[in-house]
A and B are shown apart, each in its own frame.
Chain A
Amino acid sequence: MFGALADHTRRDIVRRAITDEEGIVELASHYTMSFAAVQKHIAILERAGLITKQRVGRRKVVRTNLEQLRIVRRLLDQYEELWRGRIDRMRELIGETVDALDISTSEPISEPADALNTAETKESHR
């Protein structure tokens, strides 16, 4: 499932375009796929703002927009934090239902104290 996400060609284009000042035709020559397919990858990267086409003298070259790459990474990191928080809350909710079931089928609880005692015992063995 994760494997499907990794696109080596796009990664490679971004990597090359950091240092090499190549036009689309030159870039495409590195890959066995069709020129149209490479163009498509470049269009996706351009839409994401990760590369730009710039004029250098008479040539049009593809350049990686490092600033944008950093911004996108940061945004994805924030989104990851958001989902980690949500998943933590999901886990708590699921835990609550389990606890609720335990309580409903047993006597009033003295477990927290027991848990503490156990923890202390463990500590003292160190």
Chain B
Amino acid sequence: MNILEAKKIHKSYGNKFTRQEVLKGIDISIKKGEFVTIMGASGSGKTTLLNVLSTIDRLSHGSLEIEGEELTKSKEKKLAEFRKHHLGFIFQDYNLLDTLTVKENILLPLSITNTNKKEALEKFEMVAANLGINEIADKYPNEISGGQKQRTSAARAFIHEPSIIFADEPTGALDSKAASDLLGKLSTLNEKRKATIVMVTHDPVAASYSSRVIFIKDGQIYTQLNKGEESRNTFLKDIMKTQGVLGGVHYEH
């Protein structure tokens, strides 16, 4: 069953004269429980694609359906309502509120949906245990490390059990240890909770944790790779090979 269905997505910026087309007709469908990675060189339009898919940015034309709901023509307020219930976000720069403790940050999405307090705290306990953030629950974001911040951000994305979680370069600001730690937790949650994850990254190691990788070039889909029954290591090699063919970006780590 497809949870997200996007057809002929176009997105351009600027006015009539300075018009610049970033996405040039992309078709994507994502199944429930999938962990999909979008890869591409800088400027290929991968972050724009994620923003459009996650309703943060509006598409120029094309159609977008999530959970059977047509979102292309929805009003701003309805989109916010939709995000509130069905989407979760993890960002490269964490996007935590400095003024709130880790726990308060994580509980935010539940307070929008007016979940009752007891249930909210139960959900928090569960997510916190999964992501190992119990001991930092009462700290402020400026008191914890980058890896901890990103796990907090992930916990916030998972807590209200959204249909899809969008992650924009979640490991971009982390060292490799913290990154693999986070990705491991993400894929566990993906399996355990049957959570659908869409991630944008330029890091092939990060991409190798997912079940499918979509390559974007110049605003169009270049190719796709399925993990299938492969091990993570062989999948990583495949990804790097494709990246090499794609050109522009060489894996130099």
Is the pairing of A and B real? no
Please report A residues at the B interface, Cβ cutoff 8 Å. none
Please report B residues at the A interface, Cβ cutoff 8 Å. none
